């Protein structure tokens, strides 16, 4: 049973028996927060669920992205997590960046994501161009907290 099926089962049992999260937790022998976290997963659209399941994301990945309220942002974040193989900490950092209330209102979180992705693609293509010209070049990306670190290495010899 996957995480969404488990969540639907817990919800169904709660509805059928008329139980609160605390009562359900006692019956299952788990914490109330366990039941609450399962129920939060039910906030995803079928498309988001599909991406999460097909890419093998963990429940922690899934819960991190729930912080984003807009469907478009959730889909963008999940696709990016999948495509870049981000771990949970990196995924949480991405979500924090997208959720950041201090971002300029004129750009918005979706616009920031597109601009950052565009920059990353341009950087990658630039390094690939150097390599095609015979230059020993590489780049790497890492995520720590809410920061993205980009390293470009060029051997000038």
pLDDT recorded at residue 112: 63
- DSSP summary character for residue 154: E
How many whole angstroms from its chain centre is CA 143? 13
pLDDT recorded at residue 104: 47
pLDDT recorded at residue 9: 95
Dist. CA 72–CA 26, nearest whole Å = 37
Asked whether the beta carbons of 10 and 38 are under 8 A apart, the reply is yes
**Threshold 0.95, pTM exceeds:** no
Report residue 23 as tokens.
């009562």
Measure CA of the first residue to CA of the last residue in the chain; give whole Å: 55
Mean pLDDT by 10 residues, the chain (157 residues): 95 95 94 94 95 96 92 90 88 80 48 70 83 87 74 84
Domain ranges of the chain: 1-43, 59-155
pLDDT recorded at residue 105: 47
Angle, CA 141 vertex, CA 137 and CA 142 arms, to 5°:
145
């Amino acid at each position: 049973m996957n995480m969404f099926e488990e969540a639907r089962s817990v919800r169904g049992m709660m509805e059928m028996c008329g139980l609160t999260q605390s009562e359900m937790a006692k019956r299952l022998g788990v914490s109330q927060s366990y039941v609450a976290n399962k129920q939060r997963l039910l906030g995803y659209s079928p498309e988001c669920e599909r991406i999460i399941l097909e890419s093998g994301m963990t429940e922690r990945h899934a819960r991190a992205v729930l912080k984003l309220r807009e469907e478009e942002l959730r889909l963008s974040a999940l696709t990016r997590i999948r495509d870049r193989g981000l771990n949970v900490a990196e995924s949480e950092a991405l979500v924090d960046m997208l959720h950041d209330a201090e971002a300029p209102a004129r750009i918005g979180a979706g616009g920031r994501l597109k601009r950052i992705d565009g920059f990353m693609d341009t950087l990658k293509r630039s390094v690939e161009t150097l390599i095609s010209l015979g230059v020993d070049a590489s780049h790497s990306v890492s995520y720590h907290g809410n920061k993205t670190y980009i390293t470009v290495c060029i051997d000038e010899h």
